[in-house]
Amino acid sequence: MTDEKNKKNKDFAELLRESKLKVTAPRLRVLNEITQKDAAISQPDLEKIIGKDIDRVTLYRILSSFEEKGIVHKIFDLNGTATYAMCTSNCTENHHHDQHVHFICSICNSVYCLNEVSLPRINLPTRFTLHSLAINAVGLCSSCQKED
């Protein structure tokens, strides 16, 4: 995977411009926080970290515009809370293409995107037409294994 392949490594201002979003401080801040950790981050956690630097409503709007533009994708953790992670570069507006397996730790609830794991083939009954697969592997992450 080249640097270009993953939006994580792009220049954030450039990324916003490409998505036809204005380059604003709150947006840059959110991009910074999302890429800070290896795991996907939820809106509540972002809110905790960002504190009152950014209004809660603005955060909602930033996240949904990022999702719409294909900058981040949403993964639901085990509690059904949405978490956000950067998309890979083949996502565009309203069209997410970055199918990959997600790992969710059943203890700390962290969500990881596993781009290196290959997607399995699934045979559906003929009454269904398959468009995409959302696969969540649930188990223990490395830090939670140690503490068992």
Residues near a second copy (CB under 8 A) are 74, 76, 80, 82, 101, 103, 106, 112, 114, 116-117, 120-125, 127-142, 145
Q: Based on CB atoms, which residue is closest to DNA, 87 or 101?
A: 87
Report residue 140 as tokens.
Answer: 């223990």
Q: Are 119 and 100 in contact (CB under 8 A)?
A: yes
Could you tell me the maximum CA-CA distance found in the chain, to the nearest angstrom? Answer: 51
Number of chain positions touching DNA (CB under 7 A) = 24
Give the residue with the Cβ less far from DNA, 25 or 124: 25
3-class secondary-structure state, position 87: coil
Residue 56: strand, helix, or coil: helix
Which partner from the list DNA, a second copy, none does 51 bind, CB cut-off 5 to 8 Å by kind? none
Per-residue x/- track, 14-53, DNA (CB under 7 A):
--xx---xxxxxxx---------------xx-------xx
Binding to DNA (CB under 7 A) within 96-135 occurs at none
Residues 6+ apart with CB under 8 A from 121: none
- Quick count: other Cβ atoms within 10 Å of Cβ 84? 23
Q: List residues near DNA by CB under 7 A.
A: 16-17, 21-27, 43-44, 52-58, 60-62, 64-65, 82
